[in-house]
Homo-oligomer: A and B are copies of this chain.
Amino acid sequence: MDDRKGMLIVVSGFSGVGKGTVIQLLIDSLPHLQFSISCTTRKPRVGEENGVNYFFLSEEEFESKIAAGEFVEYTKTFTNYYGTLKSEIDKPLAHGVDVLLELNVVGARNIKEMYPDSVTIFITPPSIDVLKARLIGRGTESPESIARRLKEIEIESKEIEHYDYCVTNNIARSCADKIVNIIRSEHLKVSRQNVKKLFDAEA
């Protein structure tokens, strides 16, 4: 394991699909996995903490980090910035640690371009109708917000085909177990192993 290469894992999924729970289970299951905290200019939701869920930055702070070249990638939605810090990725990877990123479809595409050997995973609900019902049933969002999320689902669903894996989140534990298996299997790819090492003794 001393020449184990760190792997970059990107998880995306529709809003409301339960990514947060799945990601927490992943972190608990895989001691070698480090969750990379993204930066955003959006306001923290109830229960979210700075430095845990996100680094919550002001627009000025975010833009100064852009200027300083601190982001591997960043995107701006109609309302907010989202970005991934270089420091959160490159150092753990170099030390053989797997890095988990939660990104939207644009961020995932950016990362895949820059790190072609990253593993991208899209989490889907058992059905789209279930997700829509859940979004509307929450009762916490305005009709405009719901309409915007439904539009997002439509756009994002067209991006699934560009992901490596697609996992259904029916039961969070089972979904997390499937992703754990994906990560373990990916490490067994010949392209990620130093196969020659097996024969070094003969040289």
A161 at the interface (CB under 8 A from B): yes
The answer to whether A128 and B202 have CB atoms under 8 Å apart is: yes
The answer to whether A185 and B181 have CB atoms under 8 Å apart is: yes
| A88 CB to nearest chain B CB (Å) | 26
Closest-by-CB residue of B relative to A180 is B181
The answer to whether A160 and B190 have CB atoms under 8 Å apart is: yes
Task: Sort chain A's interface into a size bin.
Answer: 20 to 34
A165 to B163, CA, bound (A): 20
| A163 CB to nearest chain B CB (Å) | 5
- Which B residues are CB-close (under 8 A) to A124? 195, 198
A3 at the interface (CB under 8 A from B): no
The answer to whether B129 and A201 have CB atoms under 8 Å apart is: yes
Across the interface, A160 reaches (CB within 8 A) one of B167, B186, B195, B201, namely B195
Across the interface, A184 reaches (CB within 8 A) one of B127, B160, B178, namely B178
Closest-by-CB residue of B relative to A181 is B181
- Which B residues are CB-close (under 8 A) to A195? 124, 160-161, 166
Interface centre among A122, A186, A188 (most CB of B within 10 A): A188
- Which B residues are CB-close (under 8 A) to A188? 165-167, 178, 182
A189 at the interface (CB under 8 A from B): yes
Closest-by-CB residue of B relative to A126 is B198
Beta-carbon contacts under 8 Å, A171-193 to B: 178, 181-182, 184-186, 188-190, 193
A170 at the interface (CB under 8 A from B): no
A157 to B163, CA, bound (A): 32
A199 at the interface (CB under 8 A from B): yes
Across the interface, A198 reaches (CB within 8 A) one of B128, B164, B178, B189, namely B128
Assuming the contacts A127-B201, A201-B128, asked whether A166 and B182 have C-beta atoms less than 8 A apart, the reply is: no
A182 to B157, CA, bound (A): 26
Return the CB mask of A121-134 against B: 1 if under 8 Å, else 0.
Answer: 01010011100000
**Shortest beta-carbon contacts, A-B, top 8:** A185-B185, A181-B181, A182-B185, A165-B188, A166-B190, A160-B195, A181-B185, A163-B190
